[in-house]
Amino acid sequence: KMSQVQVRVPEKLLETLDRWVEEGRFKSRSDAIRVILSQYEE
């Protein structure tokens, strides 16, 4: 089951997330955050 959360991030970090999505590194902002958090958890 997926839960939805709302977070505040600095504008510069959001720009980085958007660039990664545009580059095709991630499918979406949500995908990027899920992948990064799951890697951090390991």
Structure confidence by residue, pLDDT tens digits, 22-38? 999 999 999 999 999 99
Q: What is the amino acid identity at position 40?
A: Y
pTM above 0.85, yes or no: no
Q: How many CA atoms does the CB half-sphere of 17 hold within 13 Å?
A: 16
* pLDDT(42) > 80: no
- Give the residue from 37, 26, 27, 22 showing the smallest Cα distance to 9: 37
For 3-19, the pLDDT digits (tens) are 999 999 999 999 999 99
Number of H helices, E strands in the chain: 2, 0
Three-state SS for 36? Answer: helix
